[in-house]
Amino acid sequence: MDRIPILKMGDFLLVTIQVDLYDQLAETLESDLVNMVKKYNSRGVLIDISAVSIIDSFMGRILGNISTMSKIMDAETVVVGMQPAVAITLVELGLPLKGIHCALNVERGMELLRSKIGFDNQEETDDDDSDLE
């Protein structure tokens, strides 16, 4: 496994993380993602972590990096499918994934992305608040 596949779905990109991220794999994913955002002129990135049972600080940092990079490239990032146990552990460990938008599943994530893109088009304000849902 040398890279995580990225699927193009209309204006959005979808990544399903099923394996443990190590340094090289995470780096490849980050560069692949920003390249694809540029190539396909994507407006949003969906990261599905429903198969991830442990999120540590490394994984949290990678998600934050991807979100920030995409934002710089004018694309929003939404993390979807987090398992309830993972959410509990994250908060108990004091890792509330600040700055990362979350949604329950892919469909709700797409809705959130669409609303964000619409909002940006109307007001063009660059607010940094995190709305962890």
Q: CA–CA separation, 71 vs 58, rounded Å?
A: 20
Considering the rule CB under 8 A, would residue 39 count as an interface residue with a second copy? Answer: no
Considering the rule CB under 8 A, would residue 9 count as an interface residue with a second copy? Answer: yes
Considering the rule CB under 8 A, would residue 1 count as an interface residue with a second copy? Answer: yes
Considering the rule CB under 8 A, would residue 7 count as an interface residue with a second copy? Answer: yes
- Exactly one of 56, 74, 107, 133 binds a second copy (CB under 8 A); which one? 107
Residues in a beta bridge with 47: 15, 79
Burial (CB count within 10 angstroms: exposed 0-12, middle 13-18, buried 19+), residue 76? buried
- Exactly one of 29, 42, 48, 103 binds a second copy (CB under 8 A); which one? 48
Q: What is the largest CA-CA distance in the chain?
A: 42
Considering the rule CB under 8 A, would residue 93 count as an interface residue with a second copy? Answer: no
Considering the rule CB under 8 A, would residue 36 count as an interface residue with a second copy? Answer: no
Three-state DSSP state, 65: helix
As measured in angstroms, the least distance from the Cβ of 117 to a second copy is 18
Please report the beta strands in the chain, taking only residues with DSSP state E, as ranges in sequence order.
Answer: 6-9, 12-16, 44-48, 76-80, 101-103
Considering the rule CB under 8 A, would residue 44 count as an interface residue with a second copy? Answer: no
Q: CA–CA separation, 122 vs 62, rounded Å?
A: 30
- Residues lying near a second copy in the complex (CB under 8 A): 1, 3-5, 7-10, 14, 16, 18-19, 48, 50-51, 81, 105-107
